[in-house]
Amino acid sequence: MSQLKLLLQVALRNLFVSKINLLIGGIIFFGTVLVVVGGAFVDSMDEAMSRSIIGSVAGHLQVYSEKSKDELALFGQMGGEPDLSAVDDFSRIKDVLQKHPNVKTVVPMGTSGALITSGNTVDLTLARLRDLYKKAAQGETPELRAQIQSLQSHVRQMLALLDEDLKRRSEIVDDKANDPADVESLTRARSEAFWADFDKDPFSSLEFLENRIAPQVTDGDMVYLRYTGTDLVNFQNTFDRMRIVNGGPVPEGRRGMLLSQFFYDEAFKLKTALRLDHIKEERDLNHKTIADDPKLARWVKDNQTQTREILFQLDPIKTKQAVERLQRLLGTQETELGKLLPLFFTMDDANFDTRFRQFYDELAPLLDLYRIRIGDDLTITAFTRTGYVQSVNVKIYGTYKFDGLEKSALAGSLNLMDLMSFRELYGYLTAEKKAELAKLQEASGVTEVKREDAESALFGEDSGAAMVANATPGLIDEDAQLDGFAQKLRREELASRVYTQEEIEKGVVLSAALMLKDPEKLQQTITELQAAAKAEGLPLRVVSWQQASGLIGQFVLVAKLVLYFAVFIIFVVALVIINNAMMMATLQRVREVGTLRAIGAQRSFVLNMVLVETVVLGLVFGTIGATVGGVIMQVLGRVGIPAGNEALYFFFSGPRLFPSLHVSNLVAAFVIVLVVSALSTFYPAFLATRVSPLQAMQTDE
């Protein structure tokens, strides 16, 4: 013990004597800071991302068919959705999975996507006018007539704006820039004769406008809609980060859809308003300025030049109101809305907050901020698993978000649909479809022919004649043949039908999310569930949330590997530098070592002296580095690290990552420091033990 005390005193005495020691200490200091800060940051991001994935859609585990060609990728993969085999009966696998004592809930899922069109401003206005005429056909009221006349005025104003666009195009390019057929159609649509006869045959007039005029307006968008079919009630109860933002949940057992608020804004919100939202967010959250940030300046410029969508939205009455409000806000007597809007959207850092508030207070009430409103029916057309096209009308009940992931493109791209609608788009024959086919077969006299009997049925002497004879040409009255069955299957009735929980669960799914009671037993639960499924004859694959999320789930693992590789390289370099520095320090202390040997110091004493000095050096500078790293993490834990883009919202589980320091990060730093210090000292220490008093005297001479 006395020898150790003496060695510590010598080590502390020599700690700051040599510049070489300070060099070694500086390397250890920076390496320790890197290990503490980098390790804590990656661990915090791992925890945040796991909260994002587990709490939004994945659960702790995912189960899907073992027969699938691709691996499950909840957030998509390169080239589209993964090719998964369907699980025919969810209720069967649910019974097996829920028997496990660690399984809390099982949520059915199926993910797919489709291209939809949001429609342009003219399309949407004509659609509303068509709906009003349908209502008028059942009984017109003065209020209904006033609404029709208002929309007619709006359409006529749109036609005037479109005519101005065509004339401006001719002036800028030449007369040949406009299609003569478009010009002729627009001339007819603007004529008084067209509108004088409009009410005589409104649906034919609307069809002309929809087919010949609406396509000339190009502000409609093709949007990729990614949706997950699920038990919506079970989903909301399971994933506690889910929150309804606008509207309400889909009623239990009903068909319907919830759009992600992020997707709803990005796909359907008025582009001018969306750009204003983005500018405000960048200014408030990331402290950017219009003057210094090119992206913000471009958004401002786009709002000044792209006012067409607003002009098309306003009917004559609202146009007058908008002019009056802008005149008051801008202090001008300009009467043309097309000139007032660019003036209003001329924004800089000084007036942006005021103009932003004025837009939402004064102009937004006159506009439809979204192309699709909550309560509207969204027509989704998708390719089924067998390749044919299927369309489903789904009512939009509301929008939702995952807390902390409001601006995440990864979590925000997923929209939620009821399972029955998903199955119909997937190509699964629901009970209604099966009943409809059976009724059609019965009404048309079609008989089912087995595959093995097909040849004789088609080419036999008697069967062929019977089949041809039954194919009687003529018109088919579907309603009469089906005894009103087609009426019962109208989309309105399908939308209002309430499905039982058994109907929801007994059918096709592509995967299922599992929430566990004890997440610490995740790997054990995977093994046991896999064995239970195999025992029941179910070809299921059970994977963790990290594996189910595909490349996204491996992001943190890659980040850790990069960090550890960087640390490895740094400390390999440090080991070499420390080794060389210790060699130089040992050569400088030959006289001292020789003197110690001359007065009786053993080789083991010299070896321990060098090792203890290096370890003390590592501990002192490592402690300073760990302290500085801890302070840095404490500061970052309070102020947070901002998510500079939408992808980082997902990885940070919100707009900011608030990293935390764990004991494991400090322990890892000290272990690495001690190991590197010890390894780099062995050879210099060995050389020190070889120094003899005679060598020391020769060196002195």
Q: pLDDT by residue (tens digit) across 1-11? A: 565 665 566 55
- Please check whether residue 157 is in contact with residue 315, taking contact to mean a CB–CB distance below 8 angstroms: yes
Q: What is the DSSP letter of 364?
A: G
pLDDT tens across 539-598, in order?
A: 999 999 888 887 776 776 776 777 677 767 766 776 777 667 666 666 556 566 666 656
The whole-angstrom separation of Cα 560 and Cα 152 is 62
Three-state SS at 269? strand
What is the phi/psi pair of residue 496, to 5°? -90, -10
Buried b (16+ CB within 10 A) or exposed e, 463-473: eeeeeeeeeee
d(CA 468, CA 458): 9
Asked whether the predicted pLDDT for residue 260 surpasses 90, the reply is yes
d(CA 570, CA 669): 13
Confidence of residue 58 (pLDDT cuts 50, 70, 90): confident
Integer Cα distance of 153 and 317 in angstroms: 9
Confidence of residue 357 (pLDDT cuts 50, 70, 90): very high
Over residues 632-672, the pLDDT tens digits come to 988 888 888 887 766 677 778 777 888 888 888 888 887 87
Q: Is the CB of residue 380 less than 8 Å from the CB of residue 369?
A: no
How far is Cα 664 from Cα 246, in angstroms, rounded to an integer?
Answer: 43
Task: Residue 355: count other Cβ atoms within 10 Å of its Cβ.
Answer: 18
Sign, Cα dihedral of 67, 69, 75, 81:
negative
Contact indicator for 102, 522 with CB cutoff of 8 Å: no
Retrieve residue 684's tokens: 């210099």
Are residues 400 and 260 in contact, defined by beta-carbon separation less than 8 angstroms?
yes
Among 127-141, 513-527, 576-590, 647-661, which range has the highest average pLDDT? Answer: 513-527
| Cα–Cα distances in angstroms (integers) from residue 12 to residues 30, 439, 591, 599, 659, in the given order | 21, 95, 20, 22, 35
Per-residue pLDDT, 12: 60
Task: Write the single-letter amino acid at 188.
Answer: R
Residues 6+ apart with CB under 8 A from 477: none
Is the separation of the CB atoms in 24 and 586 below 8 Å?
no
Dihedral angle at the C-alpha atoms of 457, 463, 468, 469, nearest 10 degrees?
A: -150
**Of 214-228, 335-349, 687-701, where does mean pLDDT reach its minimum?**
687-701
Q: Tell me the mean pLDDT in the region 128-132.
A: 87
Say which residue, 193 or 603, is predicted with more confidence.
Answer: 193
Supply the mean pLDDT for the chain: 80
Which positions ≥6 away from 357 have C-beta within 8 Å? Answer: none
* Average pLDDT of the segment spanning 433-456: 58
pLDDT band (50, 70, 90) for residue 93: very high
Q: Which of 109, 103, 239 is nearest to 519 (CA)?
A: 103
pLDDT at residue 417 above 90? Answer: yes
Tell which residue, 208, 169, 165, 211, has the closest CA to residue 189. 208
685 or 303: which leads in pLDDT: 303
For the CA atoms of 694, 695, 697, 701, the dihedral, rounded to the nearest 10 degrees, stands at 140
Tokens 């002296």, located at residue: 609
34 is written with which tokens?
């890197």
Q: From the centroid of its chain, how far is CA 646?
A: 9
| Cα distance between residue 523 and residue 102, in whole Å | 12
Q: Residue 472's pLDDT band (boundaries 50, 70, 90)? A: very low
Contact (CB, 8 A) for 581 and 23:
yes
Which of 166-170, 200-204, 506-510 has the least mean pLDDT? 166-170
- The CA–CA distances, whole Å, from 515 to 62, 64, 545, 565 equal 9, 15, 10, 34
Whether the per-residue pLDDT at 476 is higher than 50: the answer is no
Q: How many CB atoms lie within 10 A of CB 584?
A: 13
Contact 371, 120 (CB under 8 A): no
514: β partners: 61, 106
